[in-house]
Amino acid sequence: MSTVVALIVAGGSGSRAGGDVPKQYRDLGGATVIARAFDACEGVPIHIVHGEGHGAMLAAALACRQPASTTTGGATRRASVRAGLEAIAAAGGADLVLIHDAARPGLPPAVIGRLTAALAEADGAVPVLPAVDTLVRLHGGHVGATVPRDGLARVQTPQAFRFAAILDAHRRWAEEEEPTDDAQVARAAGLVVVAVEGDAALEKITHEADFAAAEARVAATLVSRTGMGFDVHAFAEGDHVMLCGVRVPHTAALAGHSDADVGLHAITDALLGAVGDGDIGHHFPPSDPRWKGAASGQFLEHAADLIRTRGGEIDHVDCTIICEAPKVGPHRETMRAEVARLLRVPVARISIKATTTERLGFTGRGEGMAAQAVATVRIPCA
């Protein structure tokens, strides 16, 4: 089994698409352009090359997604790719590498499959689409001869290569002119590069109009779903409770098979409910000794992964913690940040609230705590 890594090139300043920030860091229907490219490559280690001084902007755009490495790129795309390849080599290398532009947020898994399959027979593979428009030569604004379309294709990314071969090709590049893609670097080194079928969803965002088209493509494929969750745990002897992933000192603990985090359990059930995928007990049976004393953050991460692997996006989570004590207010912002980190979304999408039940019922008598949550997600139409 070959090891695969992804190299996402995000070095551009992207001024042609308008806006205040480079296009790869702009929101595209609920997630940034680069976050969408990142999620499409998920499952393999992802290395990112960013522009000079763009480290903080990149981290914010990724919203808790963790790349294997980030590297500052060079003055040209070629220099940026070279820097990324060297970073991957320094991290131990790989058998195959997918070199991808951050500005192509839509990457169907089938394209990755075609590319890696093609590398069984070739050093490199690139996705292409046929040139469908009539092509002409221009002479100072005048239309000249029509260029036959036969044998012409538009080349997209990711471009896939045997890692050692493309690293060597980049190290040996000595041409005066800058290459427009990595296939050109590969061919200059004598590597065999084959074409596989590309996909319209891979269109590059270059101009403002491309942004609108990409947004429409994303919006058209997603529907909004809401799920709810509810959880209760009884108090037992102890000196702290875990609430939304945060350790809160208290005169009692919560009893449970895992760490008994009512907040995270309610949110996990809400997320599972939104995608109609059972409940927390179904995914993490209390009868399984693996979950004894488990940190509930992993339940939440699992639910978020289920949504992402379906191409979904978590839009919002609202959780209400119900108890007389401990006080939630002093920990609220820490809890929001922790839930956002676990779900890999901006903090603004997380709401944590608290209420008492006016000393009524089991929570009012201080026998335990409850939490309820609502989650809104957008997922591809079933």
Q: By CB under 5 A, name the binding residues for Mg ion.
A: 231, 265
Judged by beta carbon, residue 231 or residue 313, the one nearer Mg ion is 231
CB of 241 to Mg ion, least distance (A): 12
CB nearer to Mg ion: pick between 23 and 265: 265
CB 342 → Mg ion: shortest distance, Å? 16
SS (H, E, C) 107-126: CCHHHHHHHHHHCCCCCEEE
Q: How far is the CB of 256 from Mg ion (least distance, A)?
A: 6
Query: Least Å distance between CB 285 and Mg ion?
Result: 12
Alpha-carbon distance of 355 to 350, in angstroms, equals 17
Question: Residue 182 in contact with residue 9, Cβ under 8 Å?
Answer: no
CB 208 within 8 A of CB 103: no
Residue the block writes with tokens 């001024």:
15
Q: Give the separation between CA 302 and CA 280, rounded to whole angstroms.
A: 10
Q: Which is nearer to Mg ion, 170 or 265 (CB)?
A: 265
CB of 255 to Mg ion, least distance (A): 10
Tell me whether residue 231 or residue 338 sits nearer to Mg ion (CB atom): 231
Q: Which is nearer to Mg ion, 119 or 321 (CB)?
A: 321
The continuous run of DSSP H or E covering 194 comes out as: strand 193-197
Contacts of 278 (CB under 8 A, 6+ apart): 272
For the packed helices 332-343 and 297-309, what is the interaxial angle rounded to 10 degrees? 40
Contacts of 89 (CB under 8 A, 6+ apart): 163, 167
CB of 208 or CB of 288, closer to Mg ion: 288
Residue type (1 letter), 123: D
> In angstroms, what is the minimal distance from the CB of 280 to Mg ion?
7
How far apart are CB 233 and Mg ion at their closest, in Å?
6
| CB contact set of 210 (below 8 Å; sequence gap of 6+) | 17, 203, 204
The residue (of 91 and 234) whose beta carbon lies closer to Mg ion is: 234
Residue closest to Mg ion, measured at CB: 265
User: Which C-beta is closer to Mg ion: that of 158 or that of 256?
Assistant: 256
Could you tell me the smallest distance in angstroms from the CB atom of residue 281 to Mg ion?
A: 8
For residue 57, which phi and psi values (nearest 5 degrees)? -65, -40
Cβ-contact 24, 33 below 8 angstroms:
yes
